């Protein structure tokens, strides 16, 4: 029989990025409290950006998060280009797409193999697996290294990229290095088959079903990463410049991160949202991986975000190979570089926003630059902040269905749920203040 | 000899430096052969208090951070600050230049005190720190060198010469000649001048050398028509923290 009273307080959920607690309270069979308390310390990035030259935005905002620094880089430079009225070359766009694929691969490999997999294998971390499953661990390390090396070659560094700027690149990677990346990506395809096989065997998702809204970038004809319109699974589509028509932010006192919703309520962003909205544009190989993993369009169980990440590993690997082929066939233009100072681009003041799909979901950067070239206003809306409402809605759905389980199992299931969203809490607590004090 | 027990802890930061440890992919299994990782929230469920070496990233920017750091200090043999936030206050200390009370109150109104936020400070402002791995992010090769030095009982030392030296060795053109400002003259080396090599000025994320040659920096700047004050005011990303912020 189900428990009448239950109190769970998991301090500092492990194997996620950042600090958060799970708090659940059931009294007389009633679910009274169900929260993901975000305790990460605020850093006030938007306030710190104000009054600084527009050239500072990219290297400050990439430092919001060590795991997603390449994603923040891409969102920041695209938003700034929209604000300043800059356009970039085809080569620049291709190199950015490659950079973002490197980031997706390292982030998804890290999450699927190092953070999520131990739960399903009954261990507390990847470390004991080095003894019990040495081949898998060595493969995981090899794949992560390859992904980081792609970012290193394109951007100078994986954590905190250097050469990506509004307007273009400050340095163009060597063709020989890109050719070597291509070789390693091609070799990784057989490792991916092993990963997908492993995922299909171990990821036995708990049952969870509720009516969910998803939001992702969409660009009919392609599976979008770098740009597109902002789409809800409920049908609304807005231009990235008008993202606040769809997305609203508010303060919750139990969280140092803002919560985000649409007019319909909380929504989910991330790999599962991208899959649900854009699945028809995936390559045949990615679609095959999805069906082998039991992932179907319209999936309303957020635990399947793990499977959706595996599908995206296939998509990003194959697209990265195509991007390198295109760059090498065109021939790299080493003179297509931009300087690091303000006057090296032909800019005008204004406001600009960008929506970029990063590993954990849709990321918005929005800047206003004044006549003096200084940032007058900045607003950043982070995937994990967008997901808190959805995580809590899932917890409220899930807890009553598992109340008959032992307390430890309920706690573990809730931790697995939080982990399935692959939250990045440092990112989400970059702010606290969205408006500036004048 | 028993394997040293290692803990990896994180405060106000992007956790990129903790992540950089996981990015020692080629060497990770060798590292695990000579040390035991017993506490690493970002990567494992197990949590043990007593460690021989605590690697700590992040600045201290809440009262909860400060208390937890003191607890870690009491339970650790060595405390190593990893990355700019822990070492110099880094990016989080930029907020010390804002009017914190006003900002918080504007957002939260009379609920402002609900949110714990104090001026951000490096670890050494609150506890004794035995070594630092500087940089934003820290350099993973330097991390491996420190682990090896400690395991072998050797003294770990940081380079005490400026980034300019490494930049020259890389054969880069001087960024001042390209019309940019650069902190490489006074910043601590050890990064292989990676930012100037990729076309971006040095912002001294590794802090300054012990006795920075400000004279030489001044000469370079004067030639470029700039003053040291201008540069110090401009480059606050990693070296904003001042002792008076915590008095």
pLDDT digits (tens, 9 = 90+) for B168-211: 999 999 998 888 888 898 899 999 999 999 999 999 999 999 98
Q: What separation in angstroms does the CA of A301 have from each of A25, A205, A280, A394, A398?
A: 23, 9, 19, 9, 11
C-beta separation of B207 from B88 below 8 A:
yes
- The two structure tokens encoding residue B236: 């606050």
Helices A134-155 and A90-109, packing angle to 10 deg: 160
Residue-range domain boundaries for chain B: 5-151, 163-240
Q: How confident is the model at residue A257 (pLDDT cuts 50, 70, 90)?
A: low
Q: Do A341 and B179 make contact, defined as CB atoms within 8 angstroms?
A: yes
CA distance A366 to A347: 16
For residue A130, give the nearest of B22, B29, B114 by CB distance.
Answer: B29
Please measure the distance between the N-terminal and C-terminal CA atoms of chain B and give it in whole angstroms. 43
pLDDT at A435: 26
Residue B230 in contact with residue B78, Cβ under 8 Å?
Answer: no
Which two structure tokens, joined as six digits, stand for B68?
A: 């937890």
- Domain spanning B5-151, CATH class: alpha beta
Q: Is the pLDDT of residue B217 over 90?
A: no
**Residue B141 pLDDT greater than 60, yes or no:** yes
ipTM of the complex: 0.91
pLDDT top residue among A115 and B247: A115
pLDDT tens sequence across A282-337: 999 999 999 999 999 999 999 999 999 999 999 999 999 999 999 999 999 999 99
The closest alpha carbon to A117, from A272, A385, A357, A310, belongs to A310
Residue whose C-alpha is closest to residue B16's, from B108, B115, B83: B83
Backbone angles phi, psi at B162, to 5 degrees: -80, 160
Query: Mean pLDDT over residues A372-401, rounded?
Result: 91
A249 or A370: which leads in pLDDT: A370
Position B232 confidence tier, pLDDT thresholds 50, 70, 90: low
What is the enclosing helix (H) or strand (E) of A237?
strand A237-238
Judge contact between B60 and B127, C-beta under 8 A: no
| Banded pLDDT at A36 (limits 50, 70, 90) | confident
Q: Report the distance separating Cα A121 and Cα A129, nearest Å.
A: 9
Whole-number pLDDT of residue A430: 46
69-108 in B: which are within 8 Å (CB) of A?
A: 91-92, 94-95, 97-99, 102-104, 106-108
Query: Could you give the angle at the alpha carbon of A136 between the alpha carbons of A132 and A141, nearest 5°?
Result: 115
Nearest CA in chain A to B179: A341
Tell me, what's the pLDDT at A15?
A: 63
Phi, psi of B58 (to 5 degrees): 100, 150
In this prediction, residue A316 carries a pLDDT of 98
Domains located in chain A, CATH noted: 45-428 (1.10.645.10)
Who among B20, B117, B203 is closest to A42 (CB)?
B117
Is residue B42 scored above 80 in pLDDT? no
Residues 29-88 of A with CB under 8 A from B: 39-44, 47-48, 56, 59-60, 63-67, 69
CB of B35 within 8 Å of any CB in chain A?
Answer: no
Question: What pLDDT, on the 0 to 100 scale, is given for residue A162?
Answer: 97
Span B4-30, mean pLDDT?
90
In the DSSP assignment, the letter for residue A110 is I
Average pLDDT estimate for B22-35:
88
| Angle made by CA atoms B89, A12, B10, in degrees to the nearest 5 | 20
Q: How many whole angstroms separate alpha carbon B92 and alpha carbon B245?
A: 13
Among A15, A39, A42, whose Cβ lies nearest the Cβ of B43?
Answer: A15
pLDDT score, position A91: 98
pLDDT recorded at residue B108: 56
Average pLDDT over residues A56-79: 94
Please, which pLDDT band fits residue B103 given cuts at 50, 70 and 90?
low
User: Which tokens go with A14?
Assistant: 């492990």
Read off the pLDDT band of A437 (50, 70, 90). Answer: very low
Q: How far apart are CA B135 and CA B50, in angstroms?
A: 27
State the pLDDT at residue B164: 94
* pLDDT band for position B117 (cuts 50, 70, 90): confident
**In this predicted structure, what is the pLDDT of residue A124?**
77
- Contact with chain A for residue B17, Cβ under 8 A: yes
pLDDT-derived band at B1 (thresholds 50, 70, 90) equals: low
Kindly state the tokens that stand for A368: 């206003």
Contact present, B201 and A162 (Cβ < 8 Å): no
Task: Report the distance separating Cα A380 and Cα A72, nearest Å.
Answer: 10
Contact present, B15 and B47 (Cβ < 8 Å) = no
Cα angle vertex B207, ends A376, B9, to 5°? 90
Predicted confidence band at A242 (pLDDT cuts at 50, 70, 90)?
Answer: very high
Residue among B125, B236, B58, B120 at smallest CA distance from A44: B120
Pull the structure tokens for residue B142: 């330097």
Contact B57, B17 (CB under 8 A): yes
Instruction: Inform me whether the C-beta atom of residue A168 falls under 8 Å from chain B C-beta atoms.
Output: no
Report the percent of chain A where pLDDT is more than 90.
Answer: 63
Inter-residue contact A189 to A317 (CB < 8 Å): yes
> Contact, B58 vs B33, CB < 8 A?
no
* β-bridge partners, A169: A164, A337
**Does the pLDDT value for residue B43 go beyond 80?**
no
* Tokens 């009294």 found at: A27
| 3-class state of residue A337 by DSSP | strand
A174 close contact with B: CB closer than 8 A: no
Task: State residue B172's pLDDT score.
Answer: 95
Is the CB of A60 less than 8 angstroms away from the CB of B99? Answer: no
User: Distances in Å between the alpha carbon of B89 and those of A258, B13, B206?
Assistant: 24, 10, 11
Q: For residues B85 and B87, what is the distance between their CA atoms, to the nearest angstrom?
A: 6
Q: A438 pLDDT exceeds 90?
A: no
Half-sphere exposure of B171 (CA within 13 A, CB side): 0
Instruction: Report whether pLDDT(A3) > 70.
Output: no
Return the pLDDT at A433: 28
- CB contacts of B203 in chain A (<8 Å) are 59
Q: Is the pLDDT of residue A256 over 80?
A: no
Which residues have C-beta within 8 Å of that of residue A128, sequence separation ≥ 6? none
């Amino acid at each position: 029989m189900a428990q009448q009273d239950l109190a769970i307080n998991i301090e500092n959920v492990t194997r996620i990025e950042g600090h958060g607690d799970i708090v659940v309270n059931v009294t007389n069979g009633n679910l009274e409290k169900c929260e993901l308390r975000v305790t990460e310390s605020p850093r006030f990035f938007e306030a710190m950006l104000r009054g600084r030259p527009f050239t500072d935005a990219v290297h400050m905002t990439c430092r919001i998060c060590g795991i997603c620094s390449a994603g923040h880089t891409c969102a920041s430079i695209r938003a700034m280009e929209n604000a300043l009225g800059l356009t970039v070359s085809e080569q620049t766009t291709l190199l950015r797409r490659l950079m973002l694929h490197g980031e997706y691969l390292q982030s998804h490999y890290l999450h699927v193999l190092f953070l999520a997999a131990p739960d399903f294998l009954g261990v507390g971390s990847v470390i004991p697996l080095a003894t019990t499953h040495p081949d898998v661990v060595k493969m995981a390390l090899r794949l992560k290294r390859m992904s980081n090396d792609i970012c290193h070659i394109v951007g100078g560094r994986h954590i905190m990229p250097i050469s990506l700027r509004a307007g273009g690149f400050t340095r163009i990677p060597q063709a020989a290095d890109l050719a070597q990346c291509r070789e390693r990506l091609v070799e990784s395809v057989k490792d991916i088959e092993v990963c997908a096989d492993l995922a299909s065997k171990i990821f036995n998702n708990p049952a969870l079903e509720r009516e969910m809204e998803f939001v992702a970038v969409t660009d009919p004809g392609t599976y979008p990463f770098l740009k597109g319109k902002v789409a809800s699974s409920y049908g609304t589509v807005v231009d990235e410049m008008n993202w606040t028509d769809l997305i609203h932010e508010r303060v919750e006192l139990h969280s140092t991160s803002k919560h985000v919703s649409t007019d319909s309520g909380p929504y989910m962003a991330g790999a599962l949202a991208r899959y649900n909205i854009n699945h028809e544009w995936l390559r045949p190989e990615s679609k095959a991986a999805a069906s082998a993993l039991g992932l179907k369009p319209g999936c309303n169980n957020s635990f399947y975000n793990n499977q959706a990440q595996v599908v995206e590993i296939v998509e990003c690997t194959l697209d990265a190979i195509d991007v390198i082929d295109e760059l090498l066939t065109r021939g790299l233009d080493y003179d297509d570089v931009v300087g690091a100072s303000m006057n090296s681009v032909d800019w005008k003041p204004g406001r600009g926003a960008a929506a970029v799909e990063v590993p954990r979901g849709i990321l918005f950067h929005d800047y206003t630059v004044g006549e003096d070239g200084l940032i007058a206003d900045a607003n950043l809306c982070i995937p994990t902040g967008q997901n808190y409402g959805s995580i809590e809605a899932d917890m409220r759905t899930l807890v009553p269905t598992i109340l008959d389980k032992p307390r430890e199992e309920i706690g573990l299931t809730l931790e697995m749920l939080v982990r399935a969203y692959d939250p990045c809490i440092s990112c989400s607590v970059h702010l606290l203040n969205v408006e500036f004090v004048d | 000899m028993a394997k040293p027990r290692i803990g990896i802890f994180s405060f106000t930061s992007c956790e990129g430096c903790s992540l950089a440890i996981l990015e020692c992919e080629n060497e990770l299994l060798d590292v695990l052969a000579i040390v035991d990782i017993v506490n690493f929230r970002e990567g494992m469920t197990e949590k043990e208090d007593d460690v021989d070496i605590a690697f700590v990233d992040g600045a201290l920017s809440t009262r909860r951070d400060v208390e937890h750091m003191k607890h870690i200090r009491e339970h650790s043999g060595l405390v190593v600050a990893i990355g700019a936030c822990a070492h110099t206050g880094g990016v989080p200390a930029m907020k010390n230049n804002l009017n914190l009370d006003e900002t918080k109150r504007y957002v939260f109104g009379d609920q402002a005190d609900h949110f714990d936020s104090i001026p951000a400070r490096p670890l050494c402002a609150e506890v004794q720190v035995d070594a630092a791995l500087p940089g934003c992010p820290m350099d993973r090769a330097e991390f491996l060198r420190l682990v090896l030095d400690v395991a072998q009982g050797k003294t770990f030392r940081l380079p005490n010469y400026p980034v300019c030296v490494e930049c020259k060795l890389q054969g880069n053109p001087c960024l001042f000649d390209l019309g940019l400002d650069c902190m490489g003259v006074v910043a601590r080396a050890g990064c292989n001048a990676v930012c100037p090599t990729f076309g971006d000025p040095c912002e001294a994320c590794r802090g300054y050398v012990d006795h920075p040659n400000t004279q030489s920096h001044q000469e370079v700047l004067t030639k470029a028509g700039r003053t040291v004050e201008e540069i110090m005011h401009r480059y606050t990303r990693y070296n904003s923290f001042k002792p008076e912020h915590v008095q």
